[in-house]
Amino acid sequence: MAEGARFEVYKMIYAAVEKFLTEFYTVGEHVDVAACEAATNFLMTLNGPGSPVSAERPWAVLNWFEEEDPLEPIFWAVVVYEWASFDSIPHEEFAAAFDFHICPPVNLPDEVQFPVMIYRGQSADDPKGLSWTLNRSVAEAFARGHRGIPLHNPVVLEMQVEFEQIAFYTNDRNEEEVVLWAIPD
């Protein structure tokens, strides 16, 4: 990658991490600049030339967490920033990683009332995961398949959850995604 293009990517990712930290963490909380830069450099590697494919990206993030043991705000900034780019998410491993980190901001839309109904489209043969949606239509689309790969034995799961069960919310791909703290029974 040309140095100018690399610098632009660096600025974009650093701005995203900085935005996350300033929007969701109290103004008085100190964030280690070196840790923020290390996370930004990791994200640049993860998103740059030769970066892992979408099914390998969650493992790369988990490995980075294990090696670097980032500060709480950095952990959540990277997870929230990258979550929508993951495929084949190792839900059990992320649930375990969530257990070791302080609660992030959920940042749900204001109109959400609790308990709230959430949905998950998947194969009936697969175990449940952490990723759900507020939008049944999105779950129905996932039940039909994802990225052109149809699912065998499709099903739409639904359940009601309370605020405390939600780790974070992202709408990066207009999927109204709710990520839970733990995999439901």
Q: Both 9 and 83 in a single domain?
A: yes
Residue ending a domain, choose from 46, 68, 99 = 99
Q: Return the pLDDT at 183.
A: 94
Q: Return the pLDDT at 28.
A: 46
In a domain, 68, yes or no: yes
C-alpha–C-alpha distance, residues 96 and 102, integer Å? 13
C-alpha–C-alpha distance, residues 51 and 46, integer Å? 5
Q: Both 132 and 90 in a single domain?
A: no
Residue 108: count other Cβ atoms within 10 Å of its Cβ. 18
Q: Both 87 and 153 in a single domain?
A: no
pTM exceeds 0.85: no
Q: Both 54 and 85 in a single domain?
A: yes
Q: Both 170 and 130 in a single domain?
A: yes
The one-digit pLDDT tens for each residue of the chain (185 residues) are 445 555 565 566 666 666 665 555 544 455 566 777 777 788 878 887 788 888 999 999 999 988 887 777 778 878 888 898 898 899 999 999 988 776 665 678 889 999 999 999 999 999 999 999 999 999 999 999 887 788 889 999 999 999 999 999 989 889 999 999 999 99
In a domain, 176, yes or no: yes
In a domain, 185, yes or no: no
Q: Return the pLDDT at 69.
A: 78
Spell out a b/e string for 67-81, using b for 16 or more CB atoms within 10 Å of the CB, else e: eeebbebbbbbbbbb
Q: Return the pLDDT at 26.
A: 44
Q: Both 94 and 121 in a single domain?
A: no
